[in-house]
């Protein structure tokens, strides 16, 4: 993991870092720490009809106000706010063509709001909120290549929430 955590991780959360799979996909830094997956990528069968359908990313629970950080160096290609769905969202494009989206944000980082477009890996892009249609506070993270959504999980040192 290239992004050093600011606080020591509990032993349970270090476990995915030790699994051999974590090193095989192209590694990205965690957008929030500690991190686990509360809702995985792909089709989901939830009782809540508003949340049903194809899940185009993964959900990482975090307290409101937690800083969300760029998973790799990149350029801001969009900051959008939709009335529903993903709410306030930041989109980054990375050197290798990978695109990452960070949704349900509460606020965008002042540097981005002031027009800065380049972000280093690990740099803050916004704070966790609950904009859009969401239950609880979490980051909805999407990874795209050539317009296709990929499962972000293999890119990250992350495991399902206990
Ligand atoms: Zn989601």
The neighbourhood of ligand 1, an ion, using CB within 5 A, equals 59, 140
Query: What's the CATH number where 144 sits?
Result: 2.70.70.10
pLDDT in tens, the chain (162 residues): 455 555 555 555 544 444 444 344 569 999 999 999 999 998 766 555 555 568 999 999 999 999 999 999 999 999 998 776 778 999 999 988 999 999 999 999 999 989 999 999 999 999 998 777 667 899 999 999 999 999 999 999 999 999
Ligand 1 centre from 91 Cα, in Å? Answer: 15
Q: Is residue 9 part of a domain?
A: no
Ligand 1 centre from 115 Cα, in Å? Answer: 27
Please give the tally of structural domains in the chain.
Answer: 1
Torsional class of 93: left (φ above 0), alpha (ψ -120 to 50), beta (otherwise) = beta
The domain in which residue 132 lies consists of: 25-154
Q: Is residue 19 part of a domain?
A: no
Q: Is residue 2 part of a domain?
A: no
Contact 105, 128 (CB under 8 A): yes
CA distances from residue 51 to 11, 15, 77, 155 in whole angstroms, order as listed: 32, 30, 26, 24
């Amino acid at each position: 993991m290239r992004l050093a955590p600011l606080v020591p991780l509990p032993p349970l959360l270090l476990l995915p870092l030790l699994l051999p799979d974590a090193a095989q996909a192209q590694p990205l830094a965690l957008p929030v720490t500690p991190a686990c997956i509360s809702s995985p990528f792909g089709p989901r069968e939830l009782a809540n009809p508003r949340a049903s359908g194809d899940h185009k990313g993964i959900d990482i629970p975090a307290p409101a106000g937690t800083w969300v950080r760029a998973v790799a160096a990149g350029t801001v290609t969009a900051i959008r706010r939709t009335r529903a769905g993903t709410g306030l969202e930041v989109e980054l494009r990375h050197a290798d063509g990978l695109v990452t989206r960070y949704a349900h944000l509460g606020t965008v980082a002042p540097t981005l709001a002031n027009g800065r477009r380049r972000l280093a890996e690990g740099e803050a892009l916004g704070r966790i909120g609950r904009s859009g249609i969401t239950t609880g506070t979490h980051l909805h993270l999407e990874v795209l290549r050539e317009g296709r959504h990929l499962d972000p999980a293999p890119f990250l040192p992350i495991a399902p929430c206990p």
